Amino acid sequence: MKRVLLAGAGLFALAVAAQPAAAADVPIARPIHKAPVAPPIFDWTGWYGGVNAGVGISQTRAATVGELGSFDRSGAGFTGGVQGGYNWQFNPHWVAGLEGDIGWLGIDRSFQHFDATIRVSGVKTDWYGTIRGRLGYTSSPSLFYVTGGAAFVNVKNNADDVGGTPLPASKSGIASGWTVGGGIETMLGGNWSARAEYLYIDAGSQDVFNSDFGELIRFDNRFHVFRYGLNHRFGGTGMRDAALPSYNWTGFYVGAHAGAGLSQVHATAPIFNSGAVDIAGAGFTGGIQGGYNWQISRAWVAGIEADFAWLGIDRSLRSWDSIFTAFGVKTDWYGTIRGRVGYSTGPALLYVTGGAAWVKVENNFDRLNPGTLASASKSETATGWTVGGGIEAALAQNWTAKIEYLYIDAGSQDVFNPLNGTAHFDNHFHVFRFGLNYQFATGKAPVVTRY
């Protein structure tokens, strides 16, 4: 638009200069300058309420006091609920707020221990809630925020004897802890907004005593939640008198990202007849991405993206009832090539994504008996698939920020140990990451329209 105005002004000046000298005595009409239209104000101040839905992952670790072995329980399930709160926009770019939520957390993970056919343990949740503060930076109609506070989870841990005389042992209660996370929320119009958000929840520990075994098992309960939300703002200015600015998503982009990666690896060894282990590791992930978007209509965008990143997961554990047997998983990098399709509000893109994935993964199945040590591992670039989604929003000219979740199925590996036999590993991973992209202009520049 500026180029058009400058070109027009130049042509006007040339036209005036080209007039005959006699025209100097002719009064020249002066253009009438109207006051510029004020840019739209996106006000976050006020009360709001809404709903959310997503995925929850448990990473419960447990051990018996006095024993060398331990075990993990890595479950996943649907989460959904309601939230409400108040925001205060205390200057043009900063927003503080307080939010509470309560929702269903449908995780139920329980199975027999490896090499211990009479022992079953697990974790089960049904609801959770948080009370959190929020602090965010707002750019145009989007809010980029961090959040943290108190968390409550109704959790049940069990350590059962299912032998000749079954003896269930469990503890159920409302565990209190803390949570931290972040997200992106963007206005949709009409006082509605959409968000994508990640929360890490530390729900503390529970002790379960099984009198048959004479053992006290301590469970450390950790959870990860990625959810999408829809909010309605009550009162306030919001977007009542403003339209969402337009944005051109077409073109190439590159960027970087960082976040957390989780392993949800399940291993079995048929030679021992029954039983299994989970390997619930966690580590930093960070890397680069690039791709191309096509704005196929005002509201819809399609694209393709590739990424390559470090995935620093390294988790090994001795089987609880067979302390001379150890299992492990280690990763160092992963990459994906994915399609994306999303709904564009203008300066924000709400999208789903999926495609092929590759993970450099090593699985270990070791025998640790004194005098008969036998290590066995298999390392490969595993090929699989991935699916996920997120929100990407304009941050500044040609810059966007995003929050994204990916589930990665990296297939299976079989590891043979001459003393233990063959163990079968199913390798699944969850990735939560925040990203920053630079958009290269094609045609008109991909920047928020100026009013």
Chain centroid, CA 191 distance in Å: 25
186-197 pLDDT, tens digit per residue, is 999 888 999 999
Segments in the chain below pLDDT 70? 1-41, 65-69, 115-118, 164, 236-242, 270-274, 320-323, 442-451
pLDDT score at 216:
85
Using an 8 Å Cβ cutoff, are 150 and 176 in contact? Answer: yes
| CA distance from start to end of the chain | 11
Examine the domain organization and report whether 48 and 197 are in the same domain: yes
Could you tell me if 199 and 140 lie in one domain?
Answer: yes
Ramachandran region of residue 418, left (φ > 0), alpha (ψ -120 to 50) or beta? alpha
In a domain? residue 50 = yes
Task: Quick: pLDDT tens for 19-60.
Answer: 333 334 433 333 444 444 444 468 899 999 999 999 999 999
User: What does the alpha-carbon distance between residue 377 and residue 363 come to, in Å, rounded to a whole number?
Assistant: 5
Same domain, 303 and 424: yes
Q: Give CA 298 to chain center in angstroms.
A: 27
- 310 in the same domain as 420: yes
The answer to whether residues 212 and 197 belong to one domain is yes
**The pLDDT of residue 418:** 86
Residues 217 and 282 in one domain: no
Residues 398 and 373 in one domain: yes
Quick one: 212 and 141 in the same domain?
yes
Residue 34 lies in a domain: no
**Predicted local confidence at residue 287, as pLDDT:** 98
Last residue of a domain, one of 242, 260, 277: 242
Closest CA to 267 of 129, 150, 423: 423
- Whether 10 is in a domain gets the answer no
Has residue 271 been placed in a domain?
Answer: yes
Given this model, what pLDDT does residue 110 score? 85
- For residue 427, give the CATH number of its domain: 2.40.160.20
pLDDT of the residue at 12: 31
Q: Determine contact, residues 95/87, Cβ cutoff 8 Å.
A: yes
Q: Of 327, 315, 291, 306, which is closest to residue 406 (Cα–Cα)?
A: 306
* Residue 21 burial class via C-beta count within 10 angstroms: exposed 0-12, middle 13-18, buried 19 and up: exposed
List the domain range (segments joined by +) for residue 264: 245-451
Is 199:185 a contact under the CB 8 Å cutoff? Answer: no
- Note whether 200 and 106 are same-domain residues: yes
**Is 416 domain-assigned?**
yes
Burial zone of 1 (CB within 10 Å; 0-12 exposed, 13-18 middle, 19+ buried): exposed
Report d(CA 164, CA 339) in Å as an integer. Answer: 53
Q: What's residue 269's pLDDT?
A: 79
One domain for residues 108 and 153: yes
Are the CB atoms for 415 and 382 separated by under 8 Å? no
Instruction: Tell whether 179 and 119 lie within a shared domain.
Output: yes
Domains of the chain: total: 2
**For residue 242, what pLDDT is reported?**
60
* 114 and 146 together in one domain: yes
pLDDT at residue 325 in the model: 83
